[in-house]
Amino acid sequence: MAALTNLLDLDPAALIQWCGDLGEQPFRAKQLQRWIHQFGEADFDAMTDLAKSLREKLKRHATVAAPAIISDSTASDGTRKWLIDVGDGNAVETVFIPEDNRGTLCISTQAGCAVNCRFCSTGKQGFSRNLSIGEIVGQLWMAERTLRREKGIAPGPKGERQITNVVMMGMGEPLLNYEPTVAALKLMLDDNAYGLSRRRVTVSTSGVVPMMDKLSADCAVALAVSLHASNDTLRDDLVPLNRKYPLSELLAACKRYLEFAPRDFITFEYCMLDGVNDTDAHARELLALVSNVSCKFNLIPFNPFPSSGLRRSGNPRIKAFANILMEGGIVTTIRKTRGDDIDAACGQLAGDVQDRTRLLERTQRMHAYQQKYGPDFGRIVEIPG
């Protein structure tokens, strides 16, 4: 028997093609898409405006299957974290952040991460694999469906939407899992699915320059760039991808992206690390660095984890740093730490990843080579496929 097609894995164009292969008209794909994504429905018999013959075909050939929930935790501030099973011993995390006027869902795009930023616990696990379209959009499908049912809110477009904003800031580097990420984005934006505004969907990247250019042409949404340093030497240490795409190339790509972006600025994320990147001199260096890029800064208090060897900047230092940026004319916010009591805050998402990159083995081997040949040996980032 042929494997069932998971309809969460099909973007709008692919669903039309799939329905066509079943002998159905394109409008049936739109009906089906509304049932799945607007109503959160997985039972084909409940899709009452579909012809009975189509429902029978669907039961024979398709399924609607989001990744299974392993655990569900809620922090004292209302932040909620789901650990979800993506198979082969891998689990990733999805975080919902409720606020008075919006609900933001933080979505993962990879099991693990190959970029290995110093301040991020996800990268310390290594990288296992990319998530599929269904595993990415399935996080939104699961969260919206769960939240509505718990509150007794009617499914469908007339019911009050619980998730108003989506940020791809969970586990992984979205632009290193490009095609599934863009397909999931198109579903989020489609009026027959979630109907989110491009301004309310944000992709965060550590600076994969070629894919930033491709995203601007394929599906330009709001862009956040993990900057975290004011010069190349410092960023090489904190964000190893900088060795491949240095700041001059990254900032040029940001300027190009702004020609297509739904917002008139790029958000630069900057993790505040005590004594590392948080001095007045660093702030002034940042002002010069971004002087010709329309941007805002989001300063992120570092969330410590044991193996980082880093400390969070103190609140007075963060405020002084922000003041220098604001006096220089840059809109600057300080991110409120949410969900840190359940390890759901920025940089804390670690899930449970079976490392296919043998990260520890590679790191130990690299240290041995550097001791023998010098500290500059191997200063090129490896990105597993």
93: annotated active-site residue: yes
HSE-CB at 80 with a 13 A cutoff on CA atoms is 19
CB 258 within 8 Å of CB 218 = no
- Between the alpha carbon of residue 290 and those of residues 21, 252, 296, 297, the distances in Å are 51, 10, 10, 10
d(CA 65, CA 240): 36
Tokens standing for residue 285: 């260096």
Q: Tell me the residue ranges of DSSP E strands in 250-365.
A: 266-272, 295-301, 331-334
Helix 133-151, helix 178-189: angle, nearest 10: 40
Catalytic entry in 19, 24, 41, 93: 93
Token pair 């739109």: residue = 30
Say if CB 308 and CB 342 are below 8 A apart: no
Taking a C-beta distance cutoff of 8 angstroms, is the pair 217, 255 a contact?
A: no
Active-site residue flag, 120: no
CB-CB contact of 202 with 224 (8 Å): yes
- Tell me the C-alpha distance between 247 and 151, whole Å: 46
36-58 as b/e: b if 16+ CB within 10 A:
bbbbbbbebeebeebeeebbebb
Residue 334 tokens read as 């300080």
Active site residues: 93, 346
